[in-house]
Structure 1
Amino acid sequence: MSIFKKIFSKSRSLEDGIFFDAIEKILGFSPKNLENYKKAFTHRSSNRLNNNGSPINYERLEFLGDAMLSAVIAAYLFTEAPNGDEGYLTKMRSKIVSREHLNELGKDLKLIQFIESKVPVQHFGENIHGNIFESLIGAIYQDKGYHYCEKFIYNRVIIPYVDISKLEGKVISYKSLVIEWCQKEKKIFHYDIFEDNAIDGQRLFGVKLSIDAKVIAKARATSKKKAEEKASQRAYFAFQEKMDKR
């Protein structure tokens, strides 16, 4: 082996050792196949390919992790909420695995530090945190199977964060809540969206929410979705007493 190869080998071995220790601390157990976890943090911008010419990135693991997370949470709720019907269980699961919550979980574990990408981290949207959290779960399943996957979800999601009584009152989408109430009460609602570049040249979206031809709430945010949600939240507080009786 050449001197260059020896140096490279030692460097790669050291790098793997650091990654192994960091991942082991997050997982709570020793990983068996480190490549699964490396893939879990590989962004498509890396343009990596396997021997067959197929892309190497976390997207397939994210799909798998999403399914495993949903299954474990569903089984937990089925046991812990024996009187809940299908609609109740579905809503509760949605609250636990909401994109907002998954993003928070990814941030808490500081998973972004492991990302391999040609795109600067600051250019990623918020959802990158939840995406790689799900891909990590997919990697666990690939590496160690269902039991370890379930154990990780219990330790990192259910035990520290899931309180069924508190979740029952949690609103995960004010827009959905407002729309549901308007439809039930036969009210006509409309979201008027416009661009507003007034602050430091930053692209912002303004939203006016009208109910029965009357403007109820206004909001601005960096995306249409966020602006609609913010306006809906303000509308909810304006009609909270009526909506809570729905």
Structure 2
Amino acid sequence: MNIFKKLFLNKSRTPEDGIFLKTITEIINDNPINLEIYKRAFTHRSMNKIDENGRAHNYERLEFLGDAMLGLIIAAHLFETVPTGDEGYLTKMRSKIVSRENLNALGKSLHLVDHVKSKVVASQFSENIHGNLFEALVGAIYLDLGYQRCKTFIQEKVIVPYVDIEKLEGKIISYKSLLIEWCQKQKKSFFYEVFEDTGNEAVKYFGVKLKIDNEIVARARATSKKKAEEIASKRAYFVLQDIIEPPSH
């Protein structure tokens, strides 16, 4: 950036910008150049903002970019550090590292939701907003500071604290996928019986009965069908764990 333009931008910043600049500097451990990119990364769609070109001004496009950068940098790291891994193995490891659970944990650890601009109250945010904001932040770093700095940030925040190959190999990221795969291999029938289970509560709940070979193995309820099925699958896994994964001798 032209030095005179940078000086002008610095002088035109509001006190609120100064606070936000300090926050971003601490989070990314570097000096941002274009603060507007980071403002976008923390703008929720409920603000209904548009840019000078009439396009939506929120974090969703940056979230898409950040997701791609995470996938690329994690894939490159695994390719270099696990030379014996085939395509299927590397894909599975990458999925475990960038799982929604991990991304949400990363977003929470950085307290990103504390800085989001939104017309939605914090208590109504989906759990996934933490991971979405983390991905948007990664996208913003890439646009503002380039690939190398983005790679360093991912190494510091994701690879160093989370990438332990031995632990990841044993980590289950989807109990439903694992259970379905096991049932198919064992030629067992399975069925998720889903029904609304609201009771007297204002929030809509869904109940699930998981049947394997026409026998109910587990039940669960949650605020979405997907969550209820995953919880039921996890419970079924622990019921059948000795069969699914026989103890080694």
TM-score, normalised to structure 2, is: 0.91
Which residue identity lines up with residue 69 of structure 2 in the other structure?
M
* 3-state SS of paired residue (1:217): strand
2:186 corresponding residue in structure 1: 185
1:170 corresponding residue in structure 2: 171
Which residue identity lines up with residue 117 of structure 1 in the other structure?
S
User: 1:43 and 1:24 mapped to 2: Cα distance?
Assistant: 21
1:3 corresponding residue in structure 2: none
| Correspondence list, 1:29-108, <5 A | 29-108=30-109
1:153 corresponding residue in structure 2: 154
* 3-state SS of paired residue (1:119): coil
Which residue identity lines up with residue 39 of structure 1 in the other structure?
R
User: 2:61 and 2:31 mapped to 1: Cα distance?
Assistant: 22
User: 1:239 and 1:17 mapped to 2: Cα distance?
Assistant: 56
User: 1:14 and 1:201 mapped to 2: Cα distance?
Assistant: 42
User: 2:121 and 2:12 mapped to 1: Cα distance?
Assistant: 24
User: 2:99 and 2:215 mapped to 1: Cα distance?
Assistant: 31
Deviation of residue 49 (structure 1)? Answer: 1.3
Where structure 1 has 5 or more consecutive residues not aligned to the other structure, the ranges are 1-9
Deviation of residue 225 (structure 1)? Answer: 1.1
Deviation of residue 222 (structure 1)? Answer: 1.8
* 3-state SS of paired residue (2:159): helix
Deviation of residue 104 (structure 1)? Answer: 0.9
* 3-state SS of paired residue (1:220): strand
* 3-state SS of paired residue (1:143): helix
2:3 corresponding residue in structure 1: none
Deviation of residue 154 (structure 1)? Answer: 0.5
* 3-state SS of paired residue (1:239): helix
User: 2:143 and 2:14 mapped to 1: Cα distance?
Assistant: 23
User: 1:82 and 1:199 mapped to 2: Cα distance?
Assistant: 55
1:126 corresponding residue in structure 2: 127
Deviation of residue 12 (structure 1)? Answer: 5.5
* 3-state SS of paired residue (2:218): strand
2:230 corresponding residue in structure 1: 229
Deviation of residue 211 (structure 1)? Answer: 0.6
For these two proteins, the number of residue pairs brought into alignment is: 237
Residues 1:79 and 1:199: Cα distance change in structure 2 (over 3 Å): farther
Which residue identity lines up with residue 221 of structure 2 in the other structure?
R
* 3-state SS of paired residue (2:14): helix
* 3-state SS of paired residue (1:55): coil
Q: Residue deviations 1:151-177, cap 9 Å, x none?
A: 000001111121111000000000000
Q: Residue deviations 1:126-156, cap 9 Å, x none?
A: 1111111000000000001000000000001
Which residue identity lines up with residue 25 of structure 1 in the other structure?
E
User: 1:182 and 1:96 mapped to 2: Cα distance?
Assistant: 26
Which residue identity lines up with residue 192 of structure 1 in the other structure?
E
User: 2:13 and 2:34 mapped to 1: Cα distance?
Assistant: 16
Deviation of residue 243 (structure 1)? Answer: 1.4
* Bigger shift: residues 171-180 or 115-124: 115-124
2:8 corresponding residue in structure 1: none
Deviation of residue 187 (structure 1)? Answer: 0.7
User: 1:204 and 1:48 mapped to 2: Cα distance?
Assistant: 33
Q: Residue deviations 1:92-148, cap 9 Å, x none?
A: 000010111111110110000111111212111111111110000000000010000
Deviation of residue 51 (structure 1)? Answer: 1.5
Where structure 2 has 5 or more consecutive residues not aligned to the other structure, the ranges are 1-10
User: 1:197 and 1:60 mapped to 2: Cα distance?
Assistant: 35
User: 2:140 and 2:214 mapped to 1: Cα distance?
Assistant: 51
User: 1:23 and 1:156 mapped to 2: Cα distance?
Assistant: 14
TM-score, normalised to structure 1, is: 0.92
Q: Residue deviations 1:27-70, cap 9 Å, x none?
A: 01111110110010111111111112111111111111000000
Which residue identity lines up with residue 167 of structure 1 in the other structure?
L
Residues 1:147 and 1:87: Cα distance change in structure 2 (over 3 Å): same
Deviation of residue 88 (structure 1)? Answer: 0.4
* 3-state SS of paired residue (1:84): coil
Deviation of residue 201 (structure 1)? Answer: 4.0
